[in-house]
Each structure stands twice: as C-alpha cells, then as structure tokens.
Chain A
Amino acid sequence: MLRDVSLSVEPGEAVVVTGGNGSGKSTLLRIAAGLSKPSAGTVSRPRSVGWLPERFPSGVRLSARDYLRHQAAVRGVPVRWDLVEALGFVGDPDAPMATLSKGNTQKIALVQALTARDLLVLDEPWSGLDVAAASALRAFLASTTAAVLVTDHHGHDLPGARELPLGATSTGVVIELARVGALLPEVSALEGVLSAAAVGSGARVEVVATHSDQVLASVLRLGCSVRSVRW
C-alpha cells in the first residue's frame, strides 16, 4: 500500500499528509502512531504519542469526564480541561459519551490525543468541528512543542506546515463544468489541462494546479458554467 516513504517530523514541526482516497494516508499515520507494524522499514517514535482516529466510535458508555480522566491517568498527566473549554465543548461531561453529538465526541477524542507531549498523530482532525473549534485547534497545533502529523481532506490552513503528498496522482485540480457541449475540444486544448471527459452535457476536467486559475477564467469566457472545483 505504501512504498518508499521516508518522513521525519521534528518537535514543534507540523506535517500535513495529503492524497486521494486509498493513497495510504491513514496507513502511514497508523504506522507513525505505533498501531500497525510496517512490513518493511523502521520507525522510531518518542514516548508520549497521541492518536486521533478518523472516526471515534459513537457508542462509548463511559462519560467524557471519566474517559479523559482515565486516559490522562494512563499517561500520568493531568486532564486538559482548558483544552476542552477552548474547543467549545458543549454537552454533559458526566453523561455517557454515546449521548454526545458527533462534534462534541470529536472534541473529547481530540483533547485525549492533544494531551500527549511528544508526537500528535491526527487523522482528519477537522472533520465534524465547527469554525470556532477549528481555529482553536489550529492555534493549538501552531503553538505546540510536539511533533504534529495530520491528514487533511479539506485544505485547512495550518501555518508553517510542511505538506507530504501521497499517491501516484498528480496534485491536480478537478473542475466540474456544466454547459460544455461542443466546446469540449476547446476546453481540452487549454494550457494546463491534463484530461477532459464529457459527463452528460458537462465535463470533468483535470488541471495542473498551477494553471487552475487561468483555466477557470478561460472556460468561463468560453461560456461554460463551473459546478465545482476540488483539489
């Protein structure tokens, strides 16, 4: 699944792993967190590791307070209630976690992971977070002295972070167009277009990232309508 990956994350540094579905982002993170053993190669990691899974389970019977207390006790550190508040947790900390909303469960899972001192491995930490919590998380990750390794599907900005693209696909931009019709040959002839395929009366166009703005301007001038832009 993963081959020839060499990565080192220094304390205080953040690395964002990007790539399409199935490109091995989660596998890389699980190896970094010490959950999976790579079939070849070596990993060295510091003592205190925090791990946030992509989807924290929803049926936990323990309360948020008990869960954080026990996890902190296993680490031998105090519970970071300040982080719980900074992330804007609303909900009953003494009710079973199963009764919390997805966003609030994610916040508890995050606090659990952010309690680690040396290495934070976070799989899609922004998913399910509201805007305020997302910016609180960004501020925390920017100021922490731990090494940070995250995956991100949504292009959240993490200041000073290094990007590690995974997978064979070029980091192209996919533009979905409507009202293309007979203009398809002209669209595919534009500079920077990697491929253009007709989808109904529209088209799906893959563009080199550096040319995406020119291509967008050109297709709009041609009279096409832009449905979505993804990268």
Chain B
Amino acid sequence: MVTALVRYLLADVLRTQRWLPPLLLFGAVLAMLNSSDAGPPLSAYAGTCVFVYPVAVWLTIVIATAEDPVRRTVTVATAGWWRVHAAVATLSALAALFVALLATLAPVLTQPRPYPLSVIAIGFAALLVCGLTGVGVGVLCARPVVTQHGWSVLLAVALVFAAFLFGQVPPIGNVLGALGHDRGIPTALTTSAVCALALTIGGTWLARTLGPRRA
C-alpha cells in the first residue's frame, strides 16, 4: 500500500514540475563546483554536502505539498494518516538518494584527480546523511506541521542557516568538519545519520499527529 502511495505521489509531483527549480539549482551548483579543480576529493564532497542539504529540504517540501489540502484529505481517507506521511518521507528520502548519487558521481566523472572507491563511498555516505537531514527538516517545515507557505519558506531558510551557524555540531557541521580535516569521519557520519533518522521519523510522527487536528 505504501509502495502504491509512493508511486502515486511521484506521478503527481512529476506532473506539477515544482521539482524543477531545486534540481536546476542543484545542477548549476554541481556544474560550478566541478567546472575547475574542486580540490582534494573529501573536501570537494564537503562542499557539495553544503548544497545537498537545502536542496533536499526544498524537494521534501515540494513532495509534501504537491497535493493540495483538499486532495490530501481524499488520499488520507483512502490510506490513513500514517501511511500517507510514511509515503511522503519515503519518496523524499528516495529523492535525497537520487540527489546524493548525482553529487557523488559528478566529480568522479569530471575531476582529473583520482577518486578511489573508499573515498567515493565516504562521499556518498556523507551526501546521503546530509540529504536525509534535509528530508527531516523539510517534513518539519511542510504541511500539516506548518500550514502556511510563507512560514514554511521562512522556517526552512532559518533551519538551513542554523545548521551552519554553530560550527562543527551535528547533523551537518560535524560532517563538513570531519570531511574537511579527514578526521573522525565514521563517528561523525554515524552521529549525523542517527540525527537525520530521528528528525525524519520525528517529523513524520508530528505530521501524523497534527494532521487530524488541523484537517
């Protein structure tokens, strides 16, 4: 049932074309970062992580709000609040995975430096963790947790900047720091993965709890 829901949400969001701006922006950033020498592979990946995070937030908000509130009530009556929000989180995570894959492969294909498999794996894991963090933040910024679009945008921008303001703290800052200094990467990635999962599951739970009160 959740698989069918994910397929429905994907077909619906693809028709809206609202996914285009964040992906275009991300493509432009990837092209810019890789047009010349991006530097040592790990710090190059750290630079991309900075952008994967907000793009994942944006895509998640697009996915969560592609159905208007009335049509969402129809889907909820059909499938239930839990399944609908689980499907939103799942599809957003798949979108984050897609973005992370693009960002992992882009430097491998364009940079003259060698990219050993272990470095690619670390880069992919870091990008995925930052993307998943974006999914969690996006779920928290979208309907039904935040019901007005203006507030969604403001909160999303605030949370994106907040992740960079406090230096090397989880879930984003510690990953960037670890990649930049090539130090304590496994610990940083594990901590951040736990944070990202907690954010996503917590946000989904909040959406499921607030939905019936606000519908």
Contact = CB atoms under 8 A, between A and B. Distances in A.
A37 interface: yes
Contacts of B80: 34
A126 interface: no
A76 B5 CA distance: 11
Interface SS of chain B: helix
A121 B71 CA distance: 15
A98 to B, nearest CB: 10
Contacts of A75: 78
A162 to B, nearest CB: 22
Interface string A61-90: 110001000110111100000000000000
B1 A76 contact: yes
Contact of B4 (A52, A57, A76): A76
Interface in B1-42: 1, 4-5, 7-8, 11-12, 15-16
B15 A53 contact: no
16 contacts: A33-B73, A33-B77, A35-B73, A35-B76, A35-B215, A51-B74, A51-B77, A52-B74, A53-B74, A56-B70, A57-B71, A62-B12, A70-B4, A71-B75, A74-B1, A74-B75
B215 A70 contact: no
Interface in B65-95: 68, 70-71, 73-81
Given A73-B4, A74-B4, A60 B71 contact: yes
B213 interface: yes
Nearest to A48: B78
A186 B77 CA distance: 53
Given A74-B1, A109-B74, 15 more contacts: A35-B215, A51-B73, A53-B73, A53-B74, A56-B70, A56-B71, A60-B71, A61-B15, A62-B11, A71-B8, A71-B74, A74-B79, A96-B15, A112-B74, A112-B78
A59 B71 CA distance: 10
B212 interface: yes
A191 to B, nearest CB: 46
Interface residues of A, number: 31
A169 B71 CA distance: 32
B11 A50 contact: no
Given A36-B215, A56-B70, A57-B71, A73 B77 contact: no
Nearest to B84: A74
Contacts of A56: 70-71, 74
A73 B76 contact: no
Contacts of B215: 30, 35-36
B8 A116 contact: no
A73 B6 CA distance: 11
Given A66-B11, A70-B4, A57 B70 contact: yes
Given A56-B71, A74-B1, A34 B76 contact: yes
Contacts of A34: 76-77, 80-81, 212
Interface string B111-153: 0000000000000000000000000000000000000000000
Nearest to A109: B74
A114 interface: no
A120 to B, nearest CB: 10
Contacts of B74: 51-53, 56, 71, 109, 112-113
Which 7 A-B pairs give the minimum distances between C-beta atoms?
A: A51-B77, A70-B8, A61-B15, A37-B212, A73-B4, A35-B215, A74-B4
